[in-house]
Amino acid sequence: MRPFLALVFSAWAFLPGVLAQVSSDQNNQQAAVPLRTHSLSVPFIDDDLQNRWFDFGGNAIVNTNHHIRLTGNRPSQVGFLWSRLPVTATNFEIEFEFNVDGPTGHLYGDGFALWLTKQRTSTGPVFGSVNQFEGLGVFFDTYDNERAHKHTFPYISSMLGDGIKSYDNDKDGRPTELGGCEADFRAREIPTKARLTYYKDNYLQLDVQWREENVWEECFKVHDVKLPDQFYLGFTAHTGELTDNHDIVYVTTKTLIPKPKEYIPVSRMICIGKGRNMYKLGFFINFCHYRPHLLPSQRKSLVDSLCLF
């Protein structure tokens, strides 16, 4: 048998083990531990008309049977909801139900934001919170300010702030967008929800439910995102001349254990021989390559070493 054929057969013999490992990893279940300190549900407040773990203020109103309304359908309102304690979990999931609606027909605004930032309770021009923030902002935007986007509104976008960069309201955050998606979440007949998942040194992902109940769609997924080691969880909203109701129905936060095993797709051409005797076998291998003690760049270097020449 020619040497190159022996190497080809060896490569194909390697594939079943790889695929078996992927199948095994996909069946791996992730454990979760609820964080009561960063979760909310009805009636939201205790006998003292306060919440032990969250502060709310501005124009926010608590409806103990239904929701926390960050802003009502009135102009020039700002409302906020912030955790009193920082989140210190390395890997976590935040799921919340929200409702955005109002009787204003085709003109409404402006939207609300989810915050994972170092600062809290300060009001400002970015969906009711401060600009030049440190941490993550996820913006559920219902009004197109720029009028030059290729996507439609409502639109969900995100930004990773360093305390220096500014969110550009006039351009709806386009210059600093981390990830986003179109999602017609306003005035739906089903519960609208979002779920943010984060694994340190791995990835950040947002899924949303807005088309059908119990059907989640990926909005964005970004790798190698670093959030602050400690951050406050917050929700804010504001209205200007255009108005809407912006409601938070519940919030559930969980610590995730363990880290998921991320699958890195690798495309390689196996080149065997030289000159006229060169034979090429091209195929794509999707396999799990995960080492918790290695940085992403180190993992990539190790994967690259699998290319055969």
Assigned CATH topology for domain 31-257: Jelly Rolls (2.60.120)
- Predicted confidence at residue 261, as pLDDT, reads 54
pTM comes to: 0.76
- Predicted confidence at residue 49, as pLDDT, reads 85
In the chain, where does DSSP find H-type helix?
Answer: 3-26, 296-304
Determine the average pLDDT of the residues in 260-286.
42
Taking a C-beta distance cutoff of 8 angstroms, is the pair 80, 121 a contact?
Answer: yes
pLDDT digits (tens, 9 = 90+) for 112-121: 999 999 999 8
Helix (H, G, I), strand (E, B) or coil at 175: helix
Taking a C-beta distance cutoff of 8 angstroms, is the pair 256, 93 a contact?
Answer: yes
All structural domains of the chain with their residue ranges: 3-28+263-304, 31-257
Tokens for 197?
């998942």
At 279, the pLDDT band (50, 70, 90 cuts) reads: very low
Average pLDDT, the chain: 81
Checking if the pLDDT of 179 tops 80, the result is yes
Taking a C-beta distance cutoff of 8 angstroms, is the pair 26, 19 a contact?
Answer: no
At 263, the pLDDT band (50, 70, 90 cuts) reads: low
| Least reliable range by pLDDT among 17-21, 96-100, 218-222, 236-240 | 17-21
At 104, the pLDDT band (50, 70, 90 cuts) reads: low
Question: Cα dist. 133→129, 206, 224 in Å?
Answer: 9, 20, 20
Q: Which amino acid is at 178?
A: L
Checking if the pLDDT of 85 tops 50, the result is yes
pLDDT digits (tens, 9 = 90+) for 3-16: 444 443 444 444 44
- Predicted confidence at residue 169, as pLDDT, reads 94
Determine the average pLDDT of the residues in 170-176.
95
**Neighbour count for residue 276 (Cβ, 10 Å):** 5
- Predicted confidence at residue 18, as pLDDT, reads 37
At 278, the pLDDT band (50, 70, 90 cuts) reads: very low
88 vs 21, more confident: 88
Phi, psi of 116 (to 5 degrees): -130, 85
- Predicted confidence at residue 26, as pLDDT, reads 39
Phi, psi of 29 (to 5 degrees): -85, 145
At 149, the pLDDT band (50, 70, 90 cuts) reads: confident
At 183, the pLDDT band (50, 70, 90 cuts) reads: very high
2 vs 54, more confident: 54
User: What letters, b where the CB count within 10 A reaches 16 and e where it falls short, cover 239-273?
Assistant: beeebbbbbbbbbbbbbbeeebbeeeeeebebebe
